Structure 1
């Protein structure tokens, strides 16, 4: 068994032992799915975004998840307040810069957050991560239409992780996760994941749940991304005739609930 497989298995053990409170400031489109994903793997979600309470909630939690999906000025202010409080309390923070390249407002808000808050993990698709690198990117709304060769993708993940002193997780057909030194690739997943809204947001929430268990940010990022890819494969294989994206969505949560340590070895396509 490889070193990284053992590390992600330990992350799942820690998550289920701690049962962390995961504070999410996320978008209204996927909040319910993110909460259910956290519950399914063994965490406890708190979906609090009122600016009057986010600091207190963030310091009570074991992890904080910030998602840029449906933003407004007050929500960005709330994210910064929560992020600063979490940083001061030693609570790990994961950031999802949804659609950062789609509008100037999203880009300005993202770089404001990067300036004000220290993130343990940043997860995005290739188009989003390229924007954070200051590179030209191709997107359609909040979706990436990038096609980057594997070696170049690894370099992008590694260099941004070094630049921001964080773990960077790039999700797509192949996933790339780096802490600036190590680079992990994951080849799990199914095309049906693109037919259900919020699977990226749920992946970020899963990373937050693993972070709440106390494992290292790199291990938690790999565990969260691999979890979504693996349950995506399992959910698709379990579809019956005439079942589609609605049944698939429910089956994703079932897969998270039934996730076992052995799945990372038996189903996971995780390599370093």
Structure 2
């Protein structure tokens, strides 16, 4: 899939938070996708007519963003463009949670990608301090519960990442804690997932597993680069590794368990 992605260079519309736009765009360019940080609903129909996927990340959502995001999801559904929702800190405020639930209720979402606390908040109750995740939660259990409620593909990140599609779960043990030490470590993954599922409104477990392992193996290679254990250097090396990584690197290093 990585080779095909690089050949096709899909257009990925990213409605994402202000803090991570540059990092996300550079990460997708390095990977081989074509990012567009378009947000204005008056042009969204035209953009999405040519897009491979849409990312909706609510990290810096304001009241004025709500209509743009809902309109984007509507146009994406009309054009059969897959939508990835990143419900950033949705357990930290009622405003965020209510918006995510409205989006999920009214529109077709292909993938929800978030940490365990974010997904737990969507399916029930979870307290959050900003974007921090509760490390005591089981990503596997949360992924299964979220799938049962929303009936779309779920990607839950943590020390062990869990992906649930059609009730089947893969657990991924790749990655590094340094992803939590740079702004946008999780947000970029949401965009990478969108890149891998371009034109697929019903993504498979295999494709989502490749997306996550490509990113997490790249993060491990970044950590091993010179000064890669320092957050600033790591962030730069991660972009480099997304550019350099090959399918053979992922196959050699991936740690995936089928549940």
* Structure-to-structure mapping, 1:161-180, within 5 angstroms: 161-180=147-166
The answer to whether 1:259 aligns with 2:245 is: yes
2:222 aligned partner? 235
Stretches of structure 1 that go unaligned for 5 or more consecutive residues are 1-10
Kept in 2: contact 1:24–1:45 (CA 8 A): yes
Kept in 2: contact 1:51–1:75 (CA 8 A): no
User: Which moves more between the two structures, 159-168 or 116-125?
Assistant: 159-168
* Structure-to-structure mapping, 1:177-196, within 5 angstroms: 177-196=163-182
* Alignment match of 1:244 (pick from 216, 224, 230): 230
* Alignment match of 1:72 (pick from 59, 62, 84): 62
Aligned to 1:196, the other structure's residue is in SS state coil
Deviations 1:88-119 (A, max 9, x none): 11111111000001111111111111122211
- Provide the C-alpha distance between the structure 2 equivalents of 1:29 and 1:36, rounded to a whole number of angstroms: 13
List structure 1 segments (4+ residues) > 6 angstroms apart after TM superposition: none
* Structure-to-structure mapping, 1:74-153, within 5 angstroms: 74-134=64-124, 136-149=125-138, 153=139
Q: CA deviation at 1:213?
A: 6.3
User: Which moves more between the two structures, 74-83 or 136-145?
Assistant: 136-145
Q: Which has the higher contact order (CA 8 A, sep 6+)?
A: 1
Aligned to 2:91, the other structure's residue is in SS state coil
Q: CA deviation at 1:19?
A: 1.1
For the aligned residue pairs, the C-alpha RMSD in angstroms reads 1.7
User: Which moves more between the two structures, 121-130 or 187-196?
Assistant: 187-196
- Provide the C-alpha distance between the structure 2 equivalents of 1:91 and 1:200, rounded to a whole number of angstroms: 22
Q: CA deviation at 1:217?
A: 4.3
Cα distance change of structure 1 residues 38 and 220 upon mapping to structure 2, 3 Å threshold: farther
Aligned to 1:53, the other structure's residue is in SS state helix
The answer to whether 1:225 aligns with 2:212 is: yes
Aligned residues: 257
Stretches of structure 2 that go unaligned for 5 or more consecutive residues are none
Deviations 1:46-101 (A, max 9, x none): 10011221222122201111000000122121111111111111111111000001
